[in-house]
Amino acid sequence: MKKGPLKTWTLTVAGGSLALLLVIVVIWAVAVGSVSVPFSQSARIVAARLPFVDKEALLNGIPRSNKLIIWDIRLPRVLLAGLVGGGLAAAGVVMQALFRNPLSDPQVLGISSGAAFGAAVAIAFGITFTVSGISSIWLFAFVGAMLTMLLVFRVARIATSRSVTGILLAGIACSSMLTAAITLLMMWNHEKLEQIYLWMLGSFSAATWVKVGFMGIVLVGAVICFFLLGRDLDLLSFGDHEAQSMGVSVKRTRTIAVVATSLLVAASVSVSGIIGFVSLIIPHIMRMLAGPKNRRLIPISLLGGAIFMIFCDMISRTAVPPHEIAVGAITQVTGAPFFLYLLWKERRKGEE
């Protein structure tokens, strides 16, 4: 009887600690860069934007240049990195629950390849415009991701009535086809090759408050959806027939979860490029802390993913100044060894 409350209390403390760490990391990240800003000043500038605070008292004595650097340049980038990292981690939790496979990743749906193809088309054909903070590359990437999602669902429905295997195979097929199309675009446009490749590696250098708002709305909507489906996702881990016998509408749950995941991944990739391994490694790490229940694991993974991505982005822009390292390269360097560890662990489990 004492185990339940203790576990809940421990989880609450862990969640609160991660939330506090996230706040500290955000303030630290906006303080460091080519122009260093004292941590105390960074905290005051960020806090000044909160409601019901004395802004004049908080900002008194802080140079105007520091306010502009943090509010207009660094804070949108840091917040966007956190939203994308949290979103990808939450999407990873749901994908692993849907496919009942700890090595599942949202990229198997082909959404990332669709976004990359859309961005590659905009770059290769020189389509450049910006409307209300929305750039052509961002718009083409998001539309490409959405069209790919519709294509994957259509193919899966025709082939296998949207079964798990059907969605997986349709995603892999569409991803391979789009990757080939991107390669052709890069070969036909040698002068744009580097730009397309760098976009695909991922970066938050083009962060704006419009992108932060867009990503925030999509993330909140998707996480609410995931939370409402939490119990059904838990039951799906026992298998489709068992879940259906316990009152779960398997096809409806899977469709809603995949659509919400696809929207979240599409939004993430469209604003940042392709960033791998976050949706794979963070859920595994956080599962050790929160356990397998999705309603606990999703918010904890969201916090962990946000912290991890902000750290990676901070490394990408401060490691070799004045140049930047693609944040996708940072996540791959850290994620690849962990992925190999998971493969080894799964093989050991299969041998036992």
Take residue 12 and report the two structure tokens written for it: 């609450």
Take residue 164 and report the two structure tokens written for it: 């798990």
pLDDT in tens, 70-114: 999 999 999 999 999 999 999 999 988 888 877 778 888 888 999
Domain of 226, in residue numbers: 79-351
239 — pLDDT class (breaks 50, 70, 90): confident
**333 in a structural domain:** yes
Give the Cα separation of 40 and 42 in Å (integer). Answer: 5
**33 in a structural domain:** no
327 — pLDDT class (breaks 50, 70, 90): very high
Output helix, strand, coil percentages for the chain, rounded to the nearest 5.
80, 0, 20
Predicted confidence (pLDDT) at residue 201 exceeds the cutoff of 80: yes
Top pLDDT among 238 and 21 is at: 21
Helix (H) or strand (E) holding 209: helix 209-228
pTM here is: 0.90
**271 in a structural domain:** yes
**37 in a structural domain:** no
304 — pLDDT class (breaks 50, 70, 90): very high
**17 in a structural domain:** no
Highest average pLDDT, of 32-36, 220-224, 276-280, comes from 220-224
**36 in a structural domain:** no
Average pLDDT of every residue of the chain: 87
Tally of structural domains, the chain: 1
Cα 149 to chain centroid, rounded: 17
Predicted confidence (pLDDT) at residue 343 exceeds the cutoff of 90: no
Of 156-165, 170-179, 297-306, the poorest mean pLDDT is in 156-165
pLDDT for res 6: 44
pLDDT for res 159: 66
**20 in a structural domain:** no
Which CATH number belongs to the domain containing residue 142 in this structure? 1.10.3470.10
pLDDT for res 116: 92
Whole-number percent of the chain with pLDDT over 70: 95
pLDDT for res 225: 95
**129 in a structural domain:** yes
